[in-house]
Amino acid sequence: MELHEIRYFLAVSRFGSFTKAAEHCNVTQPALTRAIQKLEDELGGLLFSRERSHVHLTDLGRLLEPEFRQMIEHRERAKRAASRFLRLEGAQLTLGVMCTIGPLRFVGFLNHFRVTHPGIELTLIEGVPARLSEMLLAGELDVAIMAHPDGFPEPLRASPLYEERFMVACGQLHDFACRNAIRMRDMAGQIYLQRINCEYRDHLAELLRAQGTEILRSHRSEREDWIQSMVVAGMGVCFLPEFSATLPGIALLPVLEPVVARQVCLVTVAGRRWSSPLAALVAALGQYAWPPSRFDLSEEQTPEPAVSA
């Protein structure tokens, strides 16, 4: 059955006349009559009892009328919802955010997007790059914000948003705390607290090996707050992205020789069509003026570390 046939049925039921129903639906009476007959043939019974001066519903017609009304109402609700969605009103998007991205850098964008697109509701899903990539490919995420030193495989497509420098985190009483920067070779002999979810973990380990620097590995945890609490307690040091949310009592010092930075990217699925709300989000992410690093990312302009007391 077709929706226009149901509309014709409801019009005849309302007006009690094929002629008036045809005028209301802006079709010819023969076209309306044929549509009603087609509907009756499909259902296997008469919907109207046709009398010379009046048309009224049969028992079958009375049984089906509320069902038909509900079908039309569902259709209209769906059209209204689609219209609101396309006007960026009441749209819902799911954004994957790598768990090591600190809110200090990201919350400014979220507030900006809320102000400029108040009708779009964002749900943030946190995870490691591998899990976010799986969810993105499965259609469980609309887009993702993440970084990886080796990039992302096809069909994922990464568009750079900003760079973020890696720092060494230590407690206020640690020998590093009185410096203004840390060379990679200065990490030799340091007790290292490993952040399991750090996507640059292996890359940083390679850089240490390239410098001939041996660290003393201690505790490991998926929980950023646990690692940071150990750092505050003086149990060791760790690498942290510059804009991580840090606990009170942590000192952050830029890494140099070599400078280490990650490129945070907007990751989408190549070839996948974007809805109007998603296109608005992607455009806003690309156009946003991300706050710059407090440190120049070039090796030459990085300050030399002060002499330790």
- My answer on whether 115 and 140 are in the same domain is yes
The dihedral over CA atoms of 40, 46, 50, 56, expressed in degrees to the nearest 10, equals: -100
CA distance 215 to 209: 10
- My answer on whether 154 and 282 are in the same domain is yes
- My answer on whether 102 and 116 are in the same domain is yes
- The DSSP output letter for 302 is S
- My answer on whether 243 and 109 are in the same domain is yes
Q: CB under 8 Å to 84, separation ≥6 — which residues? A: 90, 91, 119
Helix axes 29-43, 18-25, angle to 10 degrees: 110
CA distance 27 to 18: 11
Residue 89 confidence (pLDDT): 59
Please give the chain's pLDDT, 309 residues, in tens: 888 999 999 999 989 889 899 999 999 999 999 999 999 999 999 999 887 667 889 999 899 999 998 888 888 777 767 766 666 556 889 999 998 888 877 888 999 998 888 888 899 999 999 999 999 999 999 999 999 998 899 999 999 999 999 999 999 999 999 998 999 999 999 999 999 999 999 999 999 999 899 999 999 999 999 999 999 999 999 999 999 889 999 999 999 889 999 999 999 999 998 888 899 999 999 999 988 877 765 544 444 444 433
Long-range contact pairs involving 300-305 (C-beta distance under 8 Å, separation at least 24)? 302/181, 302/254, 302/256, 302/259, 303/180, 303/181, 303/254, 304/181, 305/179, 305/180, 305/181, 305/182, 305/183, 305/186, 305/253, 305/256
- My answer on whether 143 and 24 are in the same domain is no
At position 85, the amino acid (one-letter code) is F
Alpha-helix runs per DSSP H in the chain: 3-15, 18-25, 29-43, 59-86, 103-116, 129-137, 201-210, 224-232, 276-287
Residue 309 forms part of a structural domain:
no
Residue 85 confidence (pLDDT): 64
The dihedral over CA atoms of 291, 295, 298, 304, expressed in degrees to the nearest 10, equals: 180
- My answer on whether 106 and 254 are in the same domain is yes
- My answer on whether 35 and 65 are in the same domain is yes
Dihedrals φ, ψ of 72, to 5°? Answer: -65, -40
CA distance 290 to 293: 9
Q: Which domain holds residue 33?
A: 3-87
CA distance 198 to 220: 11
Residue 292 confidence (pLDDT): 81
- My answer on whether 100 and 67 are in the same domain is no
End-to-end CA distance of the chain: 86
Residue 300 confidence (pLDDT): 42
Residue 107 confidence (pLDDT): 87
Q: How far is C-alpha 299 from the geometric centre of its chain's CA atoms? A: 34
